[in-house]
C-alpha cells in the first residue's frame, strides 16, 4: 500500500495570531523552505564561500567559520541537496536541515526595538548591515539572525524551539501589536 | 496647617488636579507633583516610623536619597513596598500607605522601643541575643522582625509585566541636569549616538529648581530649550524615568525604566518596568551632588529637611515646607535657600551658621546667628523650635521647619562600582570619583564643579573631547552667561557639638553619633566594620545621606583625616530594583524555553501525560480510560511490548552527523571501544569516558558511508556531548579531518519494539528488513512506501526485537499515524518514558541513573568493551589507575526482594545481613528500581562491592528516608531474555 | 567576568552566549606520559589572581572554542583567539 505523508509545521495550530490582521510590524513564517547546512572540508573554506557567493538563487547564512546555512525558496530539499552537492563537490559536506530549522521573517518600523528585547547585538542600520548574518542568542534561544532588508530581519531556529521562540517574539512584539501568519506564497 | 501650597509658581499644572490617597485619606495634588510634594502641600509631613526606635519621621529630601519617606504604593499583589515618595510621580488614584507602624502612623506601639533605646545601641543584635541559641529562632527573631523593618514584601505572585532590553550608544549621559544637558547637546550636535538617561520624570535636574538665569532665560526655560533641540536630533535618545543603577565590565550599564509606574490605568501590552543593559562606548556621569545633612541633636524630627529640598519644593513644586523656617548651615547654600524662601513669601526666622566671620548676605530682616549650632529640636510629630547654642548660651528659636545644609557630596557612586576607591579632596572637603579611564568620566557637580557655569562648561568640554576621540568633530560654542550664580563654599562640620538629644547619622537605620563612637571604642573603627556594627548605610538608601558623615565622624573621633578612613564599598544597585525587573519576561512559561518533539502533537492525541525532561516535554505514559494511575498504564504498556509491539518517541536523543576522512579515527579516540572497523550499514554501541576514566555518555553510532557516521547521544547530554566533541576536534586534535553538526531537530525518530515489530515496520518499508537482510545492529537508509527516504536502525533498548525509524521531522506525525494504523492488527500501543524505563531495567540496560559520574565501564559490566589495543582515547590513561581497577569496586548487579510484595526504591543503601544500619557499613546503593510487570515483582539495579562475585547472596536494602529494610537476593542485572533470543529474533 | 567578549568570528557578544571550560594552558599529555603528568592534567588547577588563559566556547554563536586571555581581578580581556588556530600554532 502506497501512502502519502503530509508534512506538518510546528506552528500549525498557532497561526495566524489574529485572523485577518496584519500590523505594520509583522512576523511572516514560510511553511516550507529548503535548508541545508554546509560544512567546508579542511582548507576549502574560501573555495566554498566563493562558490556559495556565486550561486545566485540561494540565501547564504553565516553560522561559523567554514559553516553556513543555505536557504532556498524555489527548490525542494532534495533539489537543494543535489545542486549543492554538484556545486561544492569534494569541497564541502552537506546536511539537509529543511525539517530541522524553522524560519521567521520579522519586518516593520519597530523591528529593532522588538529584537532588542532578546538580542544583545547592536542592530543599528549602520552597524548591522543588510546581508549580515550570524548566530546569536535571542532570550534563551540560539538563532541565526540575518538582516534581509531595510527594516527586515530573518531568524532561523531549531525546530524544537520554534514554539518557544514564537511565544517569545509574541511577547517582545506585544507593545507594537505584532501580527503573525504563515507566508502567503507557501 | 504649616506646610502648604504656594499661591503661584512651580512646574506643576494647576489646571490638572489629581486625587490620591494616603493612609486612607483623600488628598489632592497636581500633575507634575511627586507624592512627597503633594503630601507636603497637604501638610502631611509625617510619613513613617523609624526602623528601630519607631520615631516619627518626615520627608527629608526631594530625591532619590530619601531615607524616611518610604511608602507602599498600590494594593494587593501588585503593591510596591519601600517606594520613595520623593521620586514617586503623582497620578490620579495613587494609593499610598505608610509603613512600619502599628496600629497607625500617629499611635505606634513600636515607639516603646524608644524607651528601651539604652539597650538598643549599636551591636545590640550581637550582644543581646547571643544566648540561649534556641531562643534566636523562636523568640528574638520573630519579635525583632515584627518590630523592625520597613515595607512588607508581597507574598502573592506579582501580576505586573516586566521586560529586559539592550541598547547601544557611543555616549551614555547619566543625568539630565545642566551638565548632562550640555554634554548631550554638544555630542548630539556632532552626530554622536547619544543616550541621555535621568531618573526623574521631568528632565532638567537642578535647573528645574534653579532661580539663576542662563543666557537671559530662566533655568527651567533653558532646560526646555535644550530638550527641544535634543528631541530634534535623530541620533539622541532620551530616557526619562530611567535610573542607571550599575556600571559593569566593558562599559555595560544597568538601568531600570519606570514605564508605567506613573499611570492610573496601565496598558496591558506594556511592562510596568523595563530593565536596560546599555552598551556604551563612552559614558559621562553627570549625576550632580547631594546636599550633606548636618548631624545635630533632634535632627530627625519631622520638619527638619535638607535646605536644598526646601528650595526644590518651593521653586519646582510651589510648596512651602513650613510657615516659619529656620536654616542651619555651614556654608553659603543655606543663605541661597533662605533667599528663595523669602522671595516666595515664606518667613525665615533665623539662619544659624556654624561659621564665624562670614560675608554671606541674608535676606532682608532675617536674623543670622554666627558661630552657632542647633543642639536640639522641640516638638514631637513636627518640629516647633530649634535649640541653638552659641558661646555657651542657649536660646530656642520658634519655627515649624528647619532646613539644614552641610555642604556637598558628589554623586560618584556609579564610578566607584567596579572597585576603584573614592578619593578625598581636602580642598572640597568631600570624596571625589577616582580616575577610571576614558570610558567613563565624571562631570559637573558630580566632579565637584558646583557652580552652574562650571557645570555647563564641564559638560560641554568633556562631551566635545569624547566626540573628538570617537572621530566626530564637535564644536564647543561659547557658554551662555549665568546670572545669579550661587556660591557653593562651606566649612565642614561633621557634627554639632553639645547635642542634647540623639543626633542621627543614618535616619533609615536609626544610627546616631553615639553608635558610631561605640563602634570605634569596641574595636570596629574601620569604616567597613563600623558599617556592619552600627548598620549605618545598610538600609535601602545605602547610606546616600549618611555614608560621608559616618566617615567624617570616624575621622574626627580619631583625629585623623577622612582620607585615612575612606568610604565603604560602592556596589550596584544605586537604588533598589524590583526582582520582577531583573527577571524580565523569564518567568512562568517563559522561565525556560520548552523544546517540543516533532511527535508532540501525535503523543497529545494519544493521551500522553507529559513530563519535563531537561527542556523537553516527553510522554511519561499514555493513559487509557479506566486506568487509575501511572503504574496501571505503564504495566499495560510494558506487557504489550513484551507480547505484541509498541511505539515510543525517541526524537529527543541527540543526533550528530560526522563526516570526513578522519571521522572513524575521531570516533575511535572519542569512544573507549573501537570504531575504526565499523562496517558501513552497521550500528555499534559506544561508551564515552571522561578523561578521569569514568563513563560520560553512551549511545549508538552507525556508519552510513565510509566517511559518514551518525551518532546518537542520550537526551540529557546531547548538548554536552556536542560541546565535548567540538573541544576534542578543535583543541585536542585539530589535525584530524572531521566535521560534524547536530541533526537532532531534522528527524522524528520512533522506536518500534516488540515481537511483532518487524511485521509493522515491514508493512511501511519497501526494503527487505527480514532477520537475514537486516539483522540486529543493522543501520541504513530505507524508502517508505510512498517514496520517503528514512533512516532505519535495528537497535533495542527494551531487549525486544526493535527498530528505530527516523523520518524528516515534519512528516513525524504522519508516519507515526501510519505505524499505529499498520500496528493496530498487531495490538500496537504507544509507550512513554515510564514503560521505557521498566523495559530497560528488566533487560539490565543502563542510563544516567547508573552512569552518575562515579562509574567505570567495568563497574557497569562493560569492562571487556574497553579497548586495550587502541593507542589512545579519552579516558584511557586514567582508566588503568589503581582505584579504578580495585577488586572491591562496586559493580552493577540485579536485586529482587525475597518477599515478592516488598518494594525497593532507588537511592537506598545496601548492607550485609545483620549489619547495623549505618553508612559506615555501606556495601553499595540502588541506582534504579521498578515493579516488573513481566516478572510480577519488584526489581532493581544496584552497585554492590564485588557484586559480580555475589550472585545468590542475600543483602539488606536499607532505605533510611522511607524507614524500610528489605531483604533482597543479588542476581545478574539482566532479568529478561539473558540469551538475547528476543533481541536477535 | 567580562560583560562582553569579542569573538574573532562573530564580533562583540554578551557573556551569556559563552560557556567556560577553564585553563587553556593545559596540554593533553602523551598516553605514555607519567602518572604525575596525567594527574596534573586531569586534576590539578591553579586559581590565579591576574592574567589567565581560559577556554571559552561561543556556544550560542559560532560554536568555536576560543582562548580568552583575561585578568581575573580587573576583568580586563586582553585577547580572544580561535582555539584550533592557537593549538595549531602551538604545534599540536
Ligand atoms: Zn563566535
Closest-CA distance of chain A to residue C57, Å: 12
* DSSP 8-state symbol, B332: T
Same domain, A117 and A145: yes
pLDDT value of residue B251: 97
Task: Output the CATH code of domain B323-362+370-404.
Answer: 3.50.50.60
CA distance B110 to B103: 9
- State the CATH number of the domain containing residue A53: 3.30.70.100
Task: Say yes or no to pLDDT of A61 above 80.
Answer: yes
Instruction: Please give the tally of structural domains in chain C.
Output: 1
Instruction: Please give the tally of structural domains in chain A.
Output: 2
- pLDDT band at residue B35 under the 50/70/90 scheme: very high
- Range B567-582 average pLDDT: 94
Determine what percent of chain B is predicted with pLDDT higher than 90: 87
- pLDDT band at residue A127 under the 50/70/90 scheme: very high
Residues of B with CB under 8 A from a CB of C: 248-250, 252, 277, 279, 418-419, 691-692, 723, 726-727, 729-732, 734-735, 871-872, 876-878, 881
Cβ neighbours of B727 in C, within 8 Å? 21, 55, 57, 65
Q: Is residue C58 within 8 Å of residue C7, measured between CB atoms?
A: yes
Q: Is residue B300 within 8 Å of residue B330, measured between CB atoms?
A: no
pLDDT value of residue B286: 98
Task: Break chain B into its structural domains and give their ranges.
Answer: 1-154, 162-289+411-482, 323-362+370-404, 653-742+856-882
Cβ neighbours of A156 in C, within 8 Å? none
**Cβ contact C3–B248 (<8 Å):** yes
Phi-psi region of B858 (alpha: psi -120 to 50; beta: other; left: phi over 0): alpha
Among the partner-chain residues A1, A6, A7, the one whose CB lies closest to the CB of B785 is A1
Nearest CA in chain B to C83: B731
Cβ neighbours of B436 in C, within 8 Å? none
Same domain, A87 and A133: no
- Range B492-498 average pLDDT: 93
Cβ neighbours of B879 in C, within 8 Å? none
Closest-CA distance of chain C to residue B692, Å: 7
Taking the centre of ligand 1 as the mean of its atom positions, its distance from the CA of residue C58, in whole angstroms, is 5
Nearest CA in chain C to A64: C62
Task: Say yes or no to pLDDT of B408 above 70.
Answer: yes
Taking the centre of ligand 1 as the mean of its atom positions, its distance from the CA of residue C68, in whole angstroms, is 12
At B821-857, the pLDDT tens digits run: 999 999 999 999 999 999 999 999 999 999 999 999 9
Domain B653-742+856-882: top CATH class: alpha beta
Task: Say yes or no to pLDDT of A137 above 90.
Answer: yes
At B906-959, the pLDDT tens digits run: 999 999 999 999 999 999 999 999 999 999 999 999 999 999 999 999 999 999
CA distance B95 to B38: 13
Same domain, A75 and A143: no
Does residue B760 sit in helix, strand or coil? helix
pLDDT value of residue A95: 98
Expressed in percent and rounded to 5, the helix, strand and coil fractions of chain B are 25, 30, 45
What predicted TM-score, i.e. pTM, was given to this entire model?
0.95
Cβ neighbours of A32 in B, within 8 Å? 810
- State the CATH number of the domain containing residue C13: 3.30.2270.10
**Cβ contact B741–A39 (<8 Å):** yes
Closest-CA distance of chain B to residue A57, Å: 23
Same domain, A87 and A51: yes
Neighbours of chain B (3+ CB pairs under 8 A): A, C
Other C-beta atoms lying within 10 Å of the C-beta of residue C26: 15
* Fold match flag (B1-154 vs B162-289+411-482): no
Task: Say yes or no to pLDDT of B480 above 70.
Answer: yes
- Range B132-136 average pLDDT: 56
Cβ neighbours of B730 in C, within 8 Å? 64-65, 82-84, 87
pLDDT value of residue B109: 59
- How distant, in Å, are the alpha carbons of B416, B751, B876, B881, B910 from that of B884? 52, 35, 11, 6, 21
All three cell numbers of C32: 605514555
**Cβ contact C17–A63 (<8 Å):** no
Of B788, B787, B757, B798, nearest to B774 (Cα)? Answer: B757
Nearest CA in chain A to B656: A95
**Cβ contact C35–B881 (<8 Å):** yes
Q: Using the 3D structure, point to which of A96, A114, A136 is the last residue of a domain.
A: A96
Task: Say yes or no to pLDDT of A147 above 60.
Answer: yes
Taking the centre of ligand 1 as the mean of its atom positions, its distance from the CA of residue A5, in whole angstroms, is 39
- Range B86-91 average pLDDT: 97
- Range B805-827 average pLDDT: 98
Cβ neighbours of A123 in C, within 8 Å? none
Among the partner-chain residues A1, A98, A116, the one whose CB lies closest to the CB of B166 is A116
pLDDT value of residue A55: 84
pLDDT value of residue B123: 67
Neighbours of chain C (3+ CB pairs under 8 A): A, B
Domain that holds residue C54: 4-89
Task: Say yes or no to pLDDT of A135 above 60.
Answer: yes
Among the partner-chain residues C14, C42, C82, the one whose CB lies closest to the CB of B878 is C42
pLDDT value of residue B282: 98
* DSSP 8-state symbol, B40: H
Q: Is residue B244 within 8 Å of residue B174, measured between CB atoms?
A: yes
Task: Say yes or no to pLDDT of B400 above 60.
Answer: yes
Taking the centre of ligand 1 as the mean of its atom positions, its distance from the CA of residue A90, in whole angstroms, is 26
pLDDT value of residue B539: 87
- Range B34-56 average pLDDT: 90
Which range among B51-60, B188-197, B365-374, B685-694 shows the weakest confidence by mean pLDDT?
A: B51-60
pLDDT value of residue B153: 81
Domain that holds residue A48: 34-96
The helices-and-strands tally (H runs, E runs) of chain A is: 4, 10
Other C-beta atoms lying within 10 Å of the C-beta of residue B404: 29
- pLDDT band at residue B427 under the 50/70/90 scheme: very high
CA distance B294 to B14: 34
User: C residues 9-38 near A, CB within 8 Å?
Assistant: 9-14, 16-17
> Is B162-289+411-482 a CATH 3.50.50.60 domain?
yes
Taking the centre of ligand 1 as the mean of its atom positions, its distance from the CA of residue B896, in whole angstroms, is 52
- Range A12-17 average pLDDT: 93
- Range B249-263 average pLDDT: 96
Nearest CA in chain A to B808: A99
Cβ neighbours of C14 in A, within 8 Å? 120, 137
Cβ neighbours of C11 in A, within 8 Å? 121, 134
**Cβ contact A42–B788 (<8 Å):** no
A36 strand-pairing partners: A70, A96
Among the partner-chain residues C13, C14, C63, the one whose CB lies closest to the CB of A64 is C63
Q: Using the 3D structure, point to which of A50, A72, A96 is the last residue of a domain.
A: A96
Element (DSSP H or E) covering residue B883: helix B882-885
Taking the centre of ligand 1 as the mean of its atom positions, its distance from the CA of residue B929, in whole angstroms, is 44
**Cβ contact C21–B876 (<8 Å):** no
At B706-748, the pLDDT tens digits run: 999 999 999 999 999 999 999 999 999 999 999 999 999 999 9
Determine what percent of chain B is predicted with pLDDT higher than 70: 95
pLDDT value of residue B630: 96
- pLDDT band at residue B103 under the 50/70/90 scheme: low
Residue A14 domain flag: no
Q: Using the 3D structure, point to which of A69, A96, A123 is the last residue of a domain.
A: A96
Neighbours of chain A (3+ CB pairs under 8 A): B, C
**Cβ contact B739–A37 (<8 Å):** no
Determine what percent of chain A is predicted with pLDDT higher than 70: 98
Taking the centre of ligand 1 as the mean of its atom positions, its distance from the CA of residue C12, in whole angstroms, is 9
**Cβ contact B601–A99 (<8 Å):** no
**Cβ contact C61–A134 (<8 Å):** yes
pLDDT value of residue B143: 56
- Looking at CATH, the fold of the domain delimited by B1-154 is given as Ubiquitin-like (UB roll) (3.10.20)
The helices-and-strands tally (H runs, E runs) of chain C is: 2, 6
Task: Say yes or no to pLDDT of B697 above 60.
Answer: yes
pLDDT value of residue B589: 85
Task: Say yes or no to pLDDT of B637 above 60.
Answer: yes
Cβ neighbours of B169 in C, within 8 Å? none
Element (DSSP H or E) covering residue B470: none
The per-residue DSSP string of A14-35 comes to T-SSSTT---SSEEEE-S--EE
**Cβ contact A39–B659 (<8 Å):** yes
Taking the centre of ligand 1 as the mean of its atom positions, its distance from the CA of residue C24, in whole angstroms, is 17
Cβ neighbours of C44 in B, within 8 Å? none
Task: Say yes or no to pLDDT of C90 above 90.
Answer: no
pLDDT value of residue B554: 97
Taking the centre of ligand 1 as the mean of its atom positions, its distance from the CA of residue B469, in whole angstroms, is 28
pLDDT value of residue B495: 93
At B199-225, the pLDDT tens digits run: 999 999 999 999 999 999 999 999 999
- pLDDT band at residue B55 under the 50/70/90 scheme: confident
Amino acid at each position: 500500500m502506497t501512502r502519502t505523508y503530509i508534512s506538518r509545521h510546528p506552528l500549525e495550530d498557532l497561526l495566524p495570531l489574529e485572523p485577518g490582521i496584519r500590523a505594520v510590524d509583522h512576523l511572516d513564517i514560510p511553511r516550507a523552505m529548503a535548508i541545508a547546512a554546509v560544512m567546508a572540508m579542511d582548507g576549502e573554506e574560501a573555495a566554498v564561500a566563493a562558490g556559495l557567493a556565486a550561486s545566485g538563487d540561494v540565501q547564504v547564512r553565516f553560522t561559523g567559520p567554514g559553516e553556513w546555512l543555505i536557504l532556498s525558496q524555489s527548490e525542494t530539499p532534495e533539489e537543494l541537496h543535489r545542486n549543492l552537492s554538484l556545486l561544492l563537490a569534494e569541497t564541502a559536506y552537506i546536511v539537509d536541515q529543511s525539517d530541522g530549522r524553522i524560519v521567521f521573517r520579522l519586518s516593520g518600523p519597530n523591528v529593532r526595538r522588538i529584537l532588542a528585547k532578546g538580542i544583545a547585538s547592536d542592530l543599528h542600520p549602520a552597524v548591522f548591515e543588510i546581508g549580515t548574518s550570524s548566530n546569536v542568542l535571542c532570550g534563551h534561544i540560539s538563532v541565526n539572525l540575518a538582516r534581509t532588508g531595510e527594516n527586515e530581519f530573518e531568524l532561523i531556529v531549531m525546530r524544537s524551539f520554534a514554539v518557544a521562540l514564537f511565544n517569545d517574539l509574541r511577547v517582545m512584539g506585544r507593545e507594537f501589536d505584532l501580527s503573525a501568519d504563515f507566508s502567503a506564497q507557501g | 496647617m504649616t506646610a502648604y501650597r504656594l499661591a503661584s509658581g512651580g512646574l506643576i499644572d494647576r489646571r490638572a488636579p489629581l486625587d490620591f490617597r494616603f493612609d486612607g485619606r483623600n488628598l489632592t495634588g497636581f500633575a507634575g507633583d511627586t507624592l512627597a510634594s503633594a503630601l507636603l502641600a497637604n501638610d502631611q509631613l509625617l510619613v513613617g516610623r523609624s526602623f528601630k526606635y519607631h520615631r516619627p519621621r518626615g520627608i527629608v529630601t526631594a530625591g532619590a536619597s530619601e531615607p524616611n519617606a518610604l511608602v507602599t504604593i498600590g494594593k494587593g499583589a501588585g503593591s510596591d513596598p519601600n517606594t520613595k515618595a520623593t521620586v514617586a510621580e503623582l497620578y490620579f488614584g495613587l494609593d499610598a500607605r505608610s509603613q512600619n507602624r502599628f496600629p497607625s502612623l500617629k499611635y505606634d506601639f513600636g515607639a516603646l522601643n524608644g524607651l528601651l533605646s539604652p539597650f538598643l545601641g549599636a551591636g545590640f543584635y550581637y550582644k543581646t541575643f547571643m544566648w540561649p541559641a534556641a531562643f534566636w529562632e523562636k523568640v528574638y527573631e520573630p519579635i525583632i522582625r515584627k518590630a523592625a523593618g520597613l515595607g512588607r514584601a508581597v507574598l502573592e505572585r506579582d501580576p505586573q509585566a516586566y521586560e529586559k532590553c539592550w541598547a547601544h550608544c557611543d555616549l551614555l549621559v547619566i543625568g539630565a541636569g545642566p551638565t548632562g544637558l550640555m554634554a548631550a547637546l554638544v555630542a548630539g550636535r556632532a552626530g554622536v549616538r547619544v543616550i541621555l538617561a535621568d531618573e526623574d520624570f521631568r528632565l532638567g535636574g537642578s535647573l528645574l529648581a534653579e532661580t539663576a538665569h542662563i543666557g537671559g532665560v530662566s533655568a527651567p526655560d533653558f532646560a526646555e530649550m535644550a530638550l527641544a533641540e535634543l528631541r530634534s536630533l535623530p541620533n539622541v535618545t532620551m530616557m526619562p524615568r530611567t535610573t542607571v543603577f550599575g556600571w559593569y565590565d566593558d562599559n555595560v550599564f544597568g538601568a531600570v525604566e519606570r514605564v508605567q509606574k506613573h499611570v492610573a490605568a496601565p496598558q496591558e501590552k506594556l511592562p510596568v518596568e523595563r530593565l536596560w543593559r546599555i552598551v556604551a562606548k563612552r559614558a559621562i556621569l553627570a549625576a550632580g551632588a547631594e546636599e550633606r545633612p548636618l548631624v545635630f541633636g533632634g535632627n530627625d524630627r519631622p520638619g527638619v529637611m535638607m535646605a536644598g529640598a526646601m528650595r526644590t519644593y518651593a521653586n519646582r513644586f510651589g510648596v512651602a515646607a513650613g510657615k516659619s523656617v529656620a536654616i542651619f548651615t555651614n556654608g553659603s547654600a543655606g543663605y541661597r535657600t533662605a533667599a528663595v524662601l523669602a522671595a516666595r513669601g515664606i518667613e525665615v526666622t533665623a539662619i544659624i551658621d556654624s561659621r564665624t566671620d562670614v560675608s554671606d548676605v541674608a535676606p532682608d530682616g532675617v536674623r543670622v546667628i554666627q558661630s552657632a549650632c542647633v543642639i536640639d529640636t522641640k516638638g514631637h510629630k513636627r518640629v516647633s523650635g530649634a535649640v541653638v547654642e552659641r558661646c555657651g548660651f542657649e536660646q530656642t528659636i520658634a519655627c515649624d521647619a528647619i532646613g539644614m545644609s552641610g555642604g556637598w557630596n558628589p554623586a560618584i557612586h556609579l564610578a566607584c562600582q567596579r572597585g576603584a576607591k573614592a578619593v578625598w579632596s581636602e580642598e572640597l572637603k568631600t570624596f571625589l570619583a577616582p580616575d577610571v579611564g576614558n570610558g567613563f568620566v565624571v562631570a559637573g557637580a558630580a566632579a565637584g564643579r558646583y557652580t552652574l557655569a562650571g557645570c555647563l562648561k564641564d559638560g560641554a568640554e568633556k562631551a566635545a573631547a569624547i566626540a573628538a576621540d570617537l572621530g566626530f568633530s564637535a564644536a564647543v560654542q561659547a557658554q551662555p552667561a549665568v546670572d545669579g550664580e550661587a556660591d557653593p563654599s562651606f566649612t565642614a562640620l561633621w557634627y554639632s557639638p553639645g547635642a542634647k538629644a540623639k543626633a542621627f547619622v543614618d535616619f533609615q537605620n536609626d544610627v546616631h553619633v553615639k553608635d558610631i563612637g561605640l563602634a570605634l571604642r569596641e574595636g570596629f573603627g574601620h569604616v567597613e566594620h563600623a558599617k556592619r556594627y552600627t548598620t549605618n548605610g545598610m538600609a535601602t538608601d545605602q547610606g546616600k545621606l549618611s555614608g560621608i558623615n559616618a566617615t567624617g565622624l570616624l575621622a574626627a573621633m580619631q583625629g585623623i583625616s577622612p582620607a585615612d578612613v575612606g568610604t565603604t564599598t560602592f556596589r550596584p544597585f544605586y537604588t533598589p530594583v524590583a526582582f520582577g525587573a531583573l527577571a524580565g519576561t523569564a518567568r512562568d512559561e517563559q522561565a525556560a524555553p520548552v523544546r517540543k518533539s516533532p511527535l508532540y502533537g501525535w503523543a497529545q492525541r494519544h493521551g500522553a501525560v507529559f513530563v519535563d525532561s531537561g527542556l523537553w516535554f516527553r510522554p511519561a505514559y499514555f493513559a487509557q480510560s479506566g486506568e487509575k494511575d501511572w503504574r496501571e498504564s505503564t504495566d499495560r504498556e510494558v506487557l504489550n511490548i513484551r507480547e505484541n509491539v509498541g511505539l515510543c518517541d525517541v526524537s529527543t536523543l541527540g543526533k550528530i552527523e560526522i563526516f570526513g576522512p578522519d571521522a572513524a579515527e575521531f570516533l575511535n579516540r572519542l569512544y573507549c571501544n573501537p570504531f575504526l572497523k565499523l562496517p558501513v550499514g552497521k550500528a555499534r554501541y559506544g561508551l564515552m569516558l571522561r578523561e578521569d576514566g569514568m563513563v560520560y555518555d553512551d549511545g549508538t553510532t552507525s556508519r552510513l558511508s565510509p566517511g559518514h557516521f551518525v551518532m546518537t547521544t542520550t537526551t540529557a547530554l546531547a548538548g554536552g556531548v556536542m560541546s565535548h566533541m567540538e573541544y576534542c576536534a578543535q583543541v585536542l586534535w585539530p589535525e584530524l579531518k572531521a566535521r560534524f553538526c547536530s541533526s537532532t531537530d531534522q528527524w522524528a525518530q520512533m522506536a518500534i519494539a516488540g515481537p511483532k515489530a518487524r511485521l509493522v515496520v515491514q508493512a511501511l518499508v519497501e526494503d527487505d528488513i527480514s532477520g537475514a537482510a537486516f539483522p540486529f545492529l543493522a543501520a541504513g537508509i530505507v524508502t517508505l512506501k510512498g517514496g520517503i527516504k528514512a533512516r532505519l536502525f535495528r537497535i533495542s533498548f527494551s531487549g525486544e526485537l526493535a527498530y528505530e525509524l527516523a523520518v524528516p521531522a515534519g512528516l513525524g506525525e504522519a508516519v507515526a499515524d501510519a505505524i499505529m494504523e499498520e500496528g493496530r492488527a498487531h495490538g500496537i500501543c504507544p509507550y512513554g518514558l515510564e514503560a521505557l524505563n521498566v523495559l530497560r531495567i528488566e533487560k539490565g540496560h543502563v542510563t544516567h541513573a547508573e552512569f552518575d559520574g562515579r562509574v567505570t565501564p567495568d563497574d557497569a559490566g562493560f569492562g571487556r568493551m574497553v579497548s586495550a589495543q587502541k593507542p589512545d582515547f579519552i579516558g584511557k590513561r586514567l582508566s588503568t589507575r589503581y582505584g579504578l581497577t580495585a577488586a572491591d569496586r562496586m559493580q552493577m548487579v540485579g536485586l529482587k526482594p525475597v518477599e515478592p510484595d516488598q518494594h525497593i526504591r532507588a537511592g537506598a543503601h545496601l548492607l550485609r545481613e545483620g549489619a547495623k544500619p549505618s553508612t559506615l557499613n555501606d556495601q553499595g546503593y540502588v541506582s534504579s528500581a521498578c515493579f516488573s510487570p513481566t516478572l510480577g515483582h519488584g526489581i532493581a539495579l544496584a552497585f554492590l562491592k564485588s557484586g559480580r562475585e555475589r550472585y545468590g547472596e542475600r543483602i539488606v536494602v536499607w532505605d533510611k528516608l522511607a524507614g524500610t529494610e528489605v531483604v533482597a537476593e543479588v542476581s545478574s542485572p539482566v532479568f529478561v531474555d539473558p540469551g538475547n533470543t528476543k533481541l536477535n529474533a | 567576568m567580562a560583560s562582553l567578549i569579542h569573538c574573532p568570528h562573530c564580533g562583540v557578544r554578551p557573556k551569556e552566549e559563552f560557556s567556560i571550560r577553564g585553563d587553556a594552558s593545559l596540554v593533553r599529555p602523551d598516553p605514555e606520559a607519567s602518572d604525575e603528568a596525567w594527574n596534573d592534567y586531569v586534576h590539578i588547577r591553579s586559581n590565579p589572581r591576574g592574567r589567565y588563559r581560559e577556554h571559552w566556547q561561543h556556544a550560542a554563536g559560532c560554536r568555536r572554542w576560543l582562548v580568552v586571555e583575561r585578568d581575573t581581578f580587573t576583568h580586563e580581556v586582553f585577547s580572544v583567539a580561535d582555539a584550533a588556530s592557537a593549538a595549531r600554532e602551538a604545534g599540536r
